[in-house]
Structure 1
Amino acid sequence: MTQSPVRYDRQGAVGIVTVDSPPVNALSQAVRQGLWDRVTEGFIDPDVTALVIVGAGRTFIAGADIAEFIKGGMGEPDLNDVNDLIESGPKPVIAALHGTALGGGLEVALSCHYRVAVPKALVGLPEVKLGILPGGGGTQRLSRLVGAKTTIEMITSGAFIPAPKAQALGIIDHVGEGADPLAIALSFAASLPAGPHKRTRDREEGLAADRGSSVFDEARASLAKSARNQFAPQRCVDAVEAAFTLPFDEGLTRERELFMQCMAHDQAKALIHVFFAERAVTKIPDVPPSVTPRKIGQVAVLGSGTMGGGIAMNFVNAGIPVRLLDLDQAALDRGMGVIAKNYAGTVAKGKLAQAEMDKRLSLIQPTTDYADLADADLIVEAVFEDADVKAKVFRRLDEVAKQGAILASNTSTLDLDAIAANTGRPADVIGMHFFSPANVMKLLEVVRGKDTAPDVIATAMAVGKQIGKVSVLVGNCDGFVGNRMVQYYATEAQRLVIEGASIEQVDQAALEFGLAMGPFAMGDLAGLDVMAFIRARRVAAGLIYGTPLSDRIDPARKGQKNGRGWYRYEPGNRTPLPDPEVAAMIDAYRAERGITPRTFSSEEIGKRLIYSLVNEGAKILEEGMALRAGDIDIVYIYGYGFPAWRGGPMKFAELSGLDNVLADITRYHADAAAAGDADGGYWEPAPLLKRLVAEGKKGFG
């Protein structure tokens, strides 16, 4: 007989129901059944007058078992039945919170008559981050405690609320001292008056003021802007409103109806995919957990420009000292000045204490001498994206770095093996491609070369986690995963403009799809001078990157950095504004080539942009440059602002139907060929995509 993950004990007149299901006490079917059985046992125990529900290990109940979501059913007992049992029982029940009480975990706590917590506990209802809403009574019970506005804010943001704030809001009844939630709960139980003890479902504190108010319409209007095109946030408001317009049991029924609507929606499928994909990126078949990472106590960063400075900030933010090298003292001084300014801005916003800023700056030792890097455990090169420059740097590093030091390149496109060949230690060389701004963007592409040692890979992945990055292992090819795909996305944007779309229309279609910015605004942010340099290199190698249209851009136009790119920018303002000079250049380009502009719908533009990513992503998968389709999705979500609720480009293709996607790609390829457009050659359908469709497969596996 399988042992239950929930046990029952007694301390004096208090029954203790302990959830012990490592690692996070998720509400699996076995835990729900255990709660049902043990709470029932406590209610019929004649020697107890109150019950405490507490979590063993590091947390209370962190939430539902997400794996059950994708298996098509949660199994009995339903969480609502468990919560009703707790709430309607003959004895008071106290939830003793530590760690996190999230989602279903908080819903269990809300069904208890009282909630106590250690000071560091966190509570929240983050289901919206999975494209769903609380389905265990959370929208109905929380509303009765804190009112509509706070409930809507908590549920639609998915924010985690510290216990002291939760007490101030009325979610938690008592925050005790120390770190032992059971001790706090037992002390609280000893102070309880004789019953009856009011059920949360019968509370009225939060309901009276908001009945018939405009708070729901205001929330919907606000979410229409902040969560544009997202399904679940609006359903969350509908569910909360039900708490104010329906009796409790009918409100629960309405909540469940809305929950099931969300579960059936593609956005929930996408976000649940992202949840699991982000956790899967750490699993590397030939680098098992048994591989021990190297110890990293001292880091060096080469290059004090925008990228190098941002990379240095990542490490000192994690308490790791950095030696920042630049051979130009003036550049080094400027770089340190920019770092200080960045930190000062954070201090001014109240997000960082001055003392902490001073501490972080003290961890950066600027230098112009390679000899100062001799004791670094990890050296990250962030110099100009030029093969000859990087070759020279790595030859010098090979001379000064100690044995066992990891030599990492921040290259975004260049051949890592060619870089490693400039050293006598290719096993110690790896790519660590940070995304700009490096101190903000969460993605880190970890690039393995053909000789990179397993423990070097393990170290880079571990360091990425330590400095707060989402690290994804990728293979060594031109552009790796992210930039290899985006080069065709950017090229397709130019082809659309050549055919008749406007720059603004293309970018607007990308925004309507849910991307953080359009391809032309992205080019201006990255720098058109950088883009021109990469295009020249790729064209010289017979590869595609952009179109001849980009060659017509005045070289003086560098994008946001000087206020003139595809768009124009006012001083001190990053808002892209249409530029008549660029529009005239495009008109002239079309006229020279006899192109009659045609009209496009936003849907057609969106498809051509996104499917260009999908097709190249499928080629990357087949080549083994990414371990999983989900890894590609994580790269795009965290590195390029792809909307998580779309699931990433590969998941979006699956949800759109691989057969439908292939049909469109095949048509785009035929159109480019018929027009004699060599720049559209990347539309040749990926063999993997063709094979999957031929085999009737629905996903990339």
Structure 2
Amino acid sequence: MIYDGQSLQCQMLDNGIAEVIFDNKNESVNKFDNSTLKEWAEVIDRLNNTDGVRGAIATSPKPVFIVGADITEFLSMFAEPREQMVKWCVEAGAIFSGYEDLPFPTVCAINGFALGGGFEMALTCDFRVASSTARVGLPETQLGLIPGFGGTIRLPRLIGSDNAIEWIAMAKPHKPENALKLGAIDAVTEPEKLREVALQMVEDAASGKLDWKARRAEKQAPLKLNKLESTMAFTTAKGVVGAKALPHYPAPMEAIRVIEETAQMPAREALKEEHEGFVNVCQTSQASAMVQIFLNDQLLKKKAKVAAKTANKKVESAAVLGAGIMGGGIAYQSASKGIPVVMKDINTAALDLGMNEAIKILNKGVQLGKLTADKMAKVVASITPSLDYSAVQHADLVVEAVVENPKVKDTVLQEVEGVISEDAILTSNTSTISIDLLAKNLKRPEQFCGMHFFNPVHKMPLVEVIRGEKTTDETVAATVAYASAMGKSAVVVKDCPGFYVNRVLFPYFRGFSLLLKDGADFRQIDKVMAGFGWPMGPAYLLDVVGIDTAYHCVDVLAAGFPDRMSAIEGDAVEVLFKADKYGQKSGSGFYTYEKDKKGRPKKIVDENIFDLIGTPAKEFDNQEIIERMMLPLIFEVVRCLEEGIVDTAAECDMALLFGLGFPPFRGGALKYADELGLANVVAAAEKYADLGVGYAVPELLKTMAADNKTFYGA
């Protein structure tokens, strides 16, 4: 044994071949943390000083190769002074280069995932062989970063600048077949033959059958682009990527800049520019926010795994009560993930609508090449439409998704409870009605909770799991596990008016209504908030959600929080509702809708709308619009955290991201508040004290600001 560490081992095999084994003894996966980098440097030193080594292979006995850098460890480093960060990049980069410079051929055997730093390690090798189940890529831009271990230098020299830019900017893992075609890897084999093929490849290189020195020289030379080719390639890339990334996502553009700047440099000189580029983005607010999202998402996944382990009931079959678009979407989602589902309604037309919704989603998947016709047929076959309650009697979990009316829901829930088994779980896909109210007439309220899906179900990642007063931990765990098995991210919230997402969205809409009452133009507000990063401005969002839906939520939230969510006299939403302008569904709301060439609704402004809601009286400062829209939302999120409606800041922010499309580059309401500075948020609120209790700073926020704390302080 040449080396035996906690993260790496190195042993001599027959015929002078060394095997570098990435196998972290303390973790289920391999990651590049500082201790792993240190051990790798020690392995490189041992290999350089061991006689008789003819070649080396890099392997991992784990199901994956290396998932990337340990972002939890590196996050704190991003706050270091720039000089310190550049120094760290240089030191880490020297380790990768040290492996690349070993005086014998190297082969990487990629099993499972080799992403980010894991793939950058593979790129230091002379040859790469991948298992047919492997996935490779450089997804750092998803975290607001760029590759920092040589990925922007080595990958373009292997697959060309155009392909490398696409890999880095799109941040997607790639199948080995695609990577082989482009030259990112050199061979693909079945998993059981991976080590054998890698050994044969390094033997062929060591014996001269493969020219490993030429391959290494190619990676370390300037890019083979003449001046015209270079100008065209990078100008096109910047135009395409910039249109999608700027101004909120600087990392993809920084990656292109580094690749362009270093195209004509030798690799070692080019690495210096990559280090500077990495530090340029790692210390931005976008990187901080997007790394935090990654960590928050890991928390949700961890909680889902714990739920699956602790649940005393596994959901292997489900039922949806109430077909239509929502019911069809829920049924599709369950069936597509391998959990058969009964879709029950009281009339055939509704069942047809639900089945058509599922088939429409599946057809689109087939057209896009995401699934085969055979797979589609299996999914459709696992959805059983029925007019009879007897079809749902064996379901492990039932989702009630009938009309949003407490009396109707109460009747349906009592009926189905009498049919299903005593250990089955009953849930309601309500968006506003109290879970405790719906549980009042149930015989087993401890096995009942809310399961609030967001529309369209197949696109929206969030499910709110609402815990009632009598709901047991086991019921919550099983429901969270089912949501996770459906491919959704579950956030557990306590029962309260509006639950969490709708409760915090309403103050945002109320801030919009107050701006209109004060003479603002909804077009300016939409433009400003879209510029802030929302997928659409509040007027457009209300039209999409439905003016009628928003109007009916007012009663529930006003009753629950009369001090800050009471109805506004002459509210534009109420005026539109009473004029039967419900938004897209009726053809007009704040905007008027026409069909475009593809049959999709296209919004236009009909000036007559101002005769109805009032003519704009003034143009507001953009910053004032942002503050008046965002402060009430932030404060309601803080109150939900303060009251224990949601357990953690991470879950608060992820629910907004997955349920409302909160701008990812801002990280969520609480991460955004941290970025602004909590003292600054408190000070901003003072300007709007006359607008009511919705702009009053919660006590938790005041205390944290006074103590100079943050929501993500740890």
- Which interval holds the TM-score relative to the shorter structure? over 0.9
The amino acid across from 1:274 in the alignment is I
The amino acid across from 2:684 in the alignment is D
**Unpaired segments ≥5 residues, structure 1:** 591-596, 673-679
State the alpha-carbon separation in 2 of the partners of residues 635 and 228 from structure 1.
25
SS at match of 2:230: coil
Report the alpha carbon displacement of residue 392 of structure 1 after superposing the two structures with TM.
1.4
Partner of 1:151 in structure 2?
A: 164
CA, structure 1 residues 256+700, in 2 after alignment: closer, same or farther (shift >3 Å)? closer
The amino acid across from 2:114 in the alignment is A
Partner of 2:234 in structure 1?
A: 216
Partner of 1:373 in structure 2?
A: 392
Partner of 2:6 in structure 1?
A: 4
Match of 1:551 among 574, 577, 586: 574
**Unpaired segments ≥5 residues, structure 2:** none
The amino acid across from 2:572 in the alignment is L
The amino acid across from 1:96 in the alignment is A
Report the alpha carbon displacement of residue 284 of structure 1 after superposing the two structures with TM.
5.9
Partner of 1:339 in structure 2?
A: 358
Report the alpha carbon displacement of residue 4 of structure 1 after superposing the two structures with TM.
2.9
Report the alpha carbon displacement of residue 166 of structure 1 after superposing the two structures with TM.
0.5
Report the alpha carbon displacement of residue 361 of structure 1 after superposing the two structures with TM.
0.8
State the alpha-carbon separation in 2 of the partners of residues 498 and 700 from structure 1.
36
State the alpha-carbon separation in 2 of the partners of residues 149 and 603 from structure 1.
39
State the alpha-carbon separation in 2 of the partners of residues 273 and 452 from structure 1.
31
State the alpha-carbon separation in 2 of the partners of residues 176 and 282 from structure 1.
31
Deviations along 1:201-228, one digit per CA (max 9) or x if unpaired, are 6435953257632222222222332113
Deviations along 1:136-182, one digit per CA (max 9) or x if unpaired, are 11101111111211111111111111111101111101112344432
State the alpha-carbon separation in 2 of the partners of residues 311 and 11 from structure 1.
54
CA, structure 1 residues 330+385, in 2 after alignment: closer, same or farther (shift >3 Å)? same
Match of 1:428 among 438, 441, 447: 447
The 5 Å alignment of 1:566-585 reads 566-571=590-595, 572-585=599-612
Match of 1:17 among 7, 16, 20: 20
The amino acid across from 2:41 in the alignment is W
State the alpha-carbon separation in 1 of the partners of residues 281 and 558 from structure 2.
47
Pick which of 413-422 and 572-581 moved more.
572-581
Report the alpha carbon displacement of residue 536 of structure 1 after superposing the two structures with TM.
4.0
Report the alpha carbon displacement of residue 378 of structure 1 after superposing the two structures with TM.
0.3
State the alpha-carbon separation in 1 of the partners of residues 304 and 368 from structure 2.
43
CA contact (8 A) 1:113 1:198 kept: no
The 5 Å alignment of 1:548-627 reads 548-553=571-576, 554-571=578-595, 572-587=599-614, 597-627=617-647
Q: Aligned residues, how many?
A: 686
CA contact (8 A) 2:129 2:185 kept: yes
Partner of 1:526 in structure 2?
A: 545
Partner of 1:227 in structure 2?
A: 245
SS at match of 1:569: strand
CA contact (8 A) 1:511 1:517 kept: yes
Q: Say whether 1:295 aligns with 2:321.
A: no
Match of 1:166 among 179, 191, 198: 179
Report the alpha carbon displacement of residue 77 of structure 1 after superposing the two structures with TM.
9.1
Report the alpha carbon displacement of residue 399 of structure 1 after superposing the two structures with TM.
1.2
Q: Say whether 1:646 aligns with 2:666.
A: yes
Q: Say whether 1:686 aligns with 2:710.
A: no
Identity of aligned residues (%): 33
State the alpha-carbon separation in 1 of the partners of residues 272 and 5 from structure 2.
33
Deviations along 1:70-128, one digit per CA (max 9) or x if unpaired, are 23278799331111111111111111101111111111111111111111211111111
The amino acid across from 1:639 in the alignment is G
CA contact (8 A) 1:302 1:382 kept: yes
CA contact (8 A) 2:222 2:267 kept: no
State the alpha-carbon separation in 2 of the partners of residues 368 and 205 from structure 1.
69
State the alpha-carbon separation in 1 of the partners of residues 580 and 465 from structure 2.
34
Q: Say whether 1:120 aligns with 2:121.
A: no
CA, structure 1 residues 279+212, in 2 after alignment: closer, same or farther (shift >3 Å)? closer
Q: Say whether 1:185 aligns with 2:185.
A: no
Report the alpha carbon displacement of residue 200 of structure 1 after superposing the two structures with TM.
4.0
CA contact (8 A) 2:328 2:354 kept: yes
The 5 Å alignment of 1:447-526 reads 447-526=466-545
The 5 Å alignment of 1:67-86 reads 67-72=72-77, 78-86=91-99
State the alpha-carbon separation in 2 of the partners of residues 253 and 427 from structure 1.
61
Report the alpha carbon displacement of residue 135 of structure 1 after superposing the two structures with TM.
0.7
CA contact (8 A) 2:222 2:263 kept: no
Partner of 2:224 in structure 1?
A: 207
State the alpha-carbon separation in 2 of the partners of residues 15 and 284 from structure 1.
40
State the alpha-carbon separation in 2 of the partners of residues 86 and 344 from structure 1.
48
Partner of 1:677 in structure 2?
A: none
SS at match of 1:223: helix
Q: Say whether 1:27 aligns with 2:49.
A: no
CA contact (8 A) 1:482 1:635 kept: yes
The amino acid across from 1:5 in the alignment is S
State the alpha-carbon separation in 2 of the partners of residues 519 and 284 from structure 1.
32
Report the alpha carbon displacement of residue 342 of structure 1 after superposing the two structures with TM.
2.7
SS at match of 2:320: strand
State the alpha-carbon separation in 2 of the partners of residues 149 and 228 from structure 1.
19
- Report the TM-score when normalising by structure 2: 0.92
Partner of 2:708 in structure 1?
A: 696
The amino acid across from 1:628 in the alignment is T
SS at match of 1:89: coil
The 5 Å alignment of 1:80-95 reads 80-95=93-108
